[in-house]
Amino acid sequence: MTAPADANSWQAIHAELMRRIAERVWQPGDPVPHEVDLAAEFGCARATVNRAMREIAQAGFIERRRKAGTRVALNPVRRATLEIPITRIDVESRGMAWRYELIERQFAHPSQIVAARMGLAADVRLLHVRARHFADGKPHLYEDRWIHTAVVPGALDADFSAVSANEWLVQNAPFTRGDVTLSAANASTIEARLLNTPENAALFIVERLTWHAFDPITHVRLVYAPGYRMEMTI
Amino acid sequence: MTAPADANSWQAIHAELMRRIAERVWQPGDPVPHEVDLAAEFGCARATVNRAMREIAQAGFIERRRKAGTRVALNPVRRATLEIPITRIDVESRGMAWRYELIERQFAHPSQIVAARMGLAADVRLLHVRARHFADGKPHLYEDRWIHTAVVPGALDADFSAVSANEWLVQNAPFTRGDVTLSAANASTIEARLLNTPENAALFIVERLTWHAFDPITHVRLVYAPGYRMEMTI
DNA sequence: CTCCATAATATGTGCAGACATAATAACGCA
DNA sequence: TGCGTTATTATGTCTGCACATATTATGGAG
């Protein structure tokens, strides 16, 4: 391979700096040499060192401030990246057959909690879509969604019987910001029936609220069948 | 007119490209103009456009391949970054008082599941540390941890009664890689007692396995008291 | 000694040019 | 026609330089 050829690549420098941090050559709280000095040491341009250090800073291992310099983070906040795919893709990528079933689609008043989270008046009417996703024929996910049709008028023409609201929105209602909340809850009577599981079973729950600028697009509560595990790496 | 002075900043270009993607100027699957052309359009250097597009690609909105070019992602995989702070900091940042209690610290054989996950033989002995974290006096988190002292010999001298294993490891056992699994489970008898909650209550569970190169450092199972919500933004 | 204006400095970013790399497109040969 | 070689091309990265910006350090006035 091109072994020492990339000795000056930002990735090689990234790796070397990470090694020094991991092996305590630079202790937590210690200052890290300046970009100019490191560039001289590695015999490369400052921009290359900057690229490497920027990535390390993004990962939370070092803290940088103009004029003050760079130091190894004392309490490195571990950042794990969670990938949130479309449910269909998620199921299929696990090698299972995906099926989708629309339960309900109608206008209604959301609960006060949902309305408050979306920053909407309590008497607003939203499109309420409830559906189930199956993996290999077994209930996998119960989706309870509220769509703000004032912001996504196209949703009025979609019936969500063939294409899931999940997928339709990804394709048709791009969002600029989203809040995700993960939690656990005991299965309610309805949830237990829909997911074919005992009442009070522990369920993994994802709530997602997406915005386009300052307008709430949709609030969805995803209730996964027992056994669901969400995996990510640091 | 220095108004468009930052018009050339990579962030301004980033915002403009994101706008075109969000507003469907470039449809999903569509090719995005080449860096050179965009640089000409914005009147900036190609490196600046590259910086903007690199960030967008990292966020998953576009896909880039040499020679093939850039296109808007068809099924944008949303990447959310989850920040995992030290528990003490997490509790204190929510304005609550943090207290820590060591339950047990002894060498033992891990369960087959844990040993397998860590890639260790079934008969290995690991340091087993169990502890509770309190928030405002109420049980907040039950921590069940296995430490591979062959990799972290310093842990032999730490008693974990004052400093939590959580915090000690962050400070003394840097890791290069970590696997995180999120799930939900019903409270076992022991967990219910330790967290002062009814048996079978739904609990939010984080399992984390960290590695230094190819050596497993520690496996921890964090069991949160009911009501815990993990929040993140996209 | 305190406070405020000013200088110094490390990082942040931009530019133009060059070469590297990966992957596709085109071509030529059998 | 089919296949392997070669050209082409868009992105990936590096360099050297310059200026911008955010902070800290300095020093002078009161």
User: Inter-chain contact B233–A177, Cβ cutoff 8 Å?
Assistant: yes
* Total Cβ atoms within 10 A of residue B37: 12
Q: Rg (Cα) of chain B, in Å, rounded?
A: 24
User: Inter-chain contact A180–B234, Cβ cutoff 8 Å?
Assistant: yes
Find, among B75, B198, B78, the residue nearest to A210 by Cα.
B78
Structure-block tokens of residue B63:
């896909």
Q: Give the amino acid at B186.
A: N
Domain match, B95 and B67 both: no
Q: Is residue B231 part of a domain?
A: no
| Structural domain containing residue B91 | 87-224
pLDDT confidence tier of residue A76, bands split at 50, 70 and 90: confident
φ/ψ (deg, to 5) at B22: -65, -40
Domain match, B210 and B111 both: yes
Total domains, chain B: 2
Structure-block tokens of residue B126:
């690991």
Q: Is the CB of A15 under 7 A from strand D?
A: no
Domain match, B214 and B162 both: yes
The single-letter DSSP state of residue A6 is: G
Beta bridge mates, A100: A133
Report, in ranges, which bases of strand C sit under 7 Å from a protein C-beta: 8-18, 20-24
Q: Is the CB of B48 under 7 A from strand C?
A: yes
B204 contacts in chain A (CB < 8 Å): 182-184
* Separation between Cα atoms, residue A100 and residue A89, nearest integer Å: 12
Q: Is residue B82 part of a domain?
A: no
- Chain-centre distance for alpha carbon A8: 34
CA-based nearest distance B3→chain A, Å: 22
Statement: residue A21 has pLDDT above 60: yes
Structure-block tokens of residue B234:
């996209």
Contacts (Cβ under 8 Å, ≥6 apart) of B61: B18, B21, B72, B73, B76
Domain match, B65 and B145 both: no
**Residue A26 contacts residue A32 (beta carbons within 8 Å):** yes
pLDDT confidence tier of residue A217, bands split at 50, 70 and 90: very high
Q: Is the CB of B5 under 7 A from strand C?
A: no
Q: In this structure, what CATH number is given to the domain that contains residue A169?
A: 3.40.1410.10
How high is the pLDDT of residue A6? 53
Highest mean pLDDT among B66-80, B99-113, B154-168: B99-113
Domain match, A199 and A94 both: yes
CA of B65 vs C1' of C28, distance in Å?
28
**Residue A78 contacts residue B72 (beta carbons within 8 Å):** no
- By Cβ distance, the residue of A78, A85, A212 closest to B84 is A78
Strand ranges across the sheet with B31-32: B31-32, B69-72, B62-65
**How confident is the model over A27-31, as a mean pLDDT?**
92
**How confident is the model over B30-51, as a mean pLDDT?**
96
Find, among A228, A234, A214, the residue nearest to A76 by Cα.
A234
Q: Which residue has the tokens 């469907």?
A: B24
Find, among B214, B66, B181, B212, the residue nearest to A227 by Cα.
B181
How high is the pLDDT of residue B214? 85
Domain match, A200 and A92 both: yes
Statement: residue A30 has pLDDT above 60: yes
Which nucleotide lies nearest residue B8, CA to C1'? Answer: C14
User: Inter-chain contact B232–A182, Cβ cutoff 8 Å?
Assistant: yes
Q: In this structure, what CATH number is given to the domain that contains residue B12?
A: 1.10.10.10
Q: Which of B72, B183, B200, B218 to mutate to test the interface with A (most CBs of A within 10 A)?
A: B183
Q: Is residue B137 part of a domain?
A: yes
Residue nearest to nucleotide C21 (CA to C1'): B66
How high is the pLDDT of residue A3? 31
Report pLDDT digits (tens) over A83-92: 888 899 889 9
How high is the pLDDT of residue A24? 86
Report pLDDT digits (tens) over A171-190: 787 787 889 999 999 999 99
Q: Is the CB of B65 under 7 A from strand C?
A: yes
Q: Which residue has the tokens 């119960």?
A: A142
Domain end, chosen from A72, A100, A126, is at A72
More confident residue, A138 or A173: A138
Q: Is the CB of B67 under 7 A from strand D?
A: yes
Domain end, chosen from A14, A42, A72, is at A72
Q: Is the CB of A7 under 7 A from strand D?
A: no
Domain match, A66 and A13 both: yes
Report pLDDT digits (tens) over A141-164: 999 999 999 999 888 888 888 889
Q: Is residue A234 part of a domain?
A: no
Q: Is residue B170 part of a domain?
A: yes
Q: Which of A36-45, B22-31, B168-177, B224-233 has the lowest mean pLDDT?
A: B168-177
- By Cβ distance, the residue of A75, A174, A181 closest to B229 is A181
CA of B90 vs C1' of C2, distance in Å?
39
Domain match, B187 and B148 both: yes
Domain end, chosen from B21, B39, B72, is at B72
Q: Is residue A36 part of a domain?
A: yes
Domain match, A61 and A93 both: no
Domain match, B107 and B174 both: yes
pLDDT confidence tier of residue B5, bands split at 50, 70 and 90: very low
Contacts (Cβ under 8 Å, ≥6 apart) of B194: B103, B132, B139, B142
Domain match, B184 and B120 both: yes
Q: Is the CB of B69 under 7 A from strand D?
A: yes
A77 contacts in chain B (CB < 8 Å): 83-85
- In Å, what is the CA distance from A48 to each residue of A11, A14, A28, A40, A63? 9, 10, 23, 11, 18
Q: Which of A33-47, A138-152, B70-84, B219-233 has the lowest mean pLDDT?
A: B70-84
Q: Is residue B81 part of a domain?
A: no
* Separation between Cα atoms, residue A127 and residue B156, nearest integer Å: 59
Q: Quick one: closest CA in A to B51, which residue?
A: A51
- Length of chain B as a residue count: 234
Q: Which of A32-41, A151-160, A198-207 has the lowest mean pLDDT?
A: A151-160
Q: Is residue A80 part of a domain?
A: no
How high is the pLDDT of residue A7? 64
CA-based nearest distance A178→chain B, Å: 5
Domain match, A53 and A108 both: no
A18 contacts in chain B (CB < 8 Å): 176
Q: Classify burial at A62, counting beta carbons within 10 Å of its beta carbon; exposed 0-12, middle 13-18, buried 19 or more.
A: buried
